[in-house]
Amino acid sequence: MKKTDVFLITLLIVAIAAIVITALYLARTPKNEDRFSVSGSGTVYAKADIANIEVGLKTGAKKTAAEATVESTNKINEIISELKKLNIDEKDIKTTNYSLSPVYNWTDKLGQQLVGYEVSQNLTLKVRDLTKIGEIIAKTTEKGANQIGNINFTIDDEYELKNQARELAITKAKEKAELIAGQAGLKLGDVKSVYENENYNPSPIAYTNAKMDLAVSSAEALISPNIQSGQNEIRVEVTLVYEIK
């Protein structure tokens, strides 16, 4: 037998083997039409036990950068000292912004002129005793804070709540799958895969421009706003993929 014939026969055998292997693979690979997917969501509600608050101050224009820095430092130190008196742990006080910026004024006659410098500084607080939120706002404002906001309530340990929401979502997805399959005349097989899409809404509150008139009496300055935490929603969405028999 010629070498050319041997080569052609070998090539033919390899080609046939490749076709057989591909056919077997395709036969064993599930087709999209053999799958049925359905989604369900589960929601649970729970009262928040953590509040996150931003407390800050802006000095306004000062003649020099040093003057603005000194004023900001003194006020923010007083604010931090007051927070510690309210039993806010040092680990729950975090500086999230500090900026020293020039302040300009524009007039048609003189154009842009440097007016001075101002410092803006913000602290993010984690408050574990929600009954103190109003007092924190009042006390820090009394000490010079003039920017308070971005209050949001969270839950410290969500593990069990997420498990409850997930179980509810799976139950609803199964009920929906059985209902749709019955209406469409399909016969469900085993669940082949599960996908989870978790959504959590911490209920933010826009509480800004929290300035108090420091010229009023001390009794009035200590009035605390009433901040309600309400309930948080924990929502889990799952998608079940069934085999169609």
Angstrom distance (rounded) from CA 182 to CA 174: 12
Residues in the chain: 245
Q: Which residues pair with 211 in a beta bridge?
A: none
Closest CA to 122 of 149, 87, 83, 84: 149
pLDDT value at 219 more than 60: no
Strands 188-201 and 231-244: antiparallel
109-149: per-residue pLDDT in tens?
878 889 999 999 999 999 999 999 999 999 999 999 999 98
Burial class (CB in 10 A: 0-12, 13-18, 19+), 15: exposed
82-91: per-residue pLDDT in tens?
999 999 999 9
> Domain residues of the chain, as ranges?
48-156+203-230
DSSP run (H or E) holding 22: helix 3-28
pLDDT value of position 17? 62
pLDDT value at 213 more than 50: no
CATH class of residue range 48-156+203-230: alpha beta
Token reading at 2: 């010629």
Token reading at 82: 């007051």
**Cβ–Cβ under 8 Å, residues 116 and 62:** yes
What 3-state class would DSSP assign to 25? helix
pLDDT band at 29 (very low <50, low <70, confident <90, very high): low
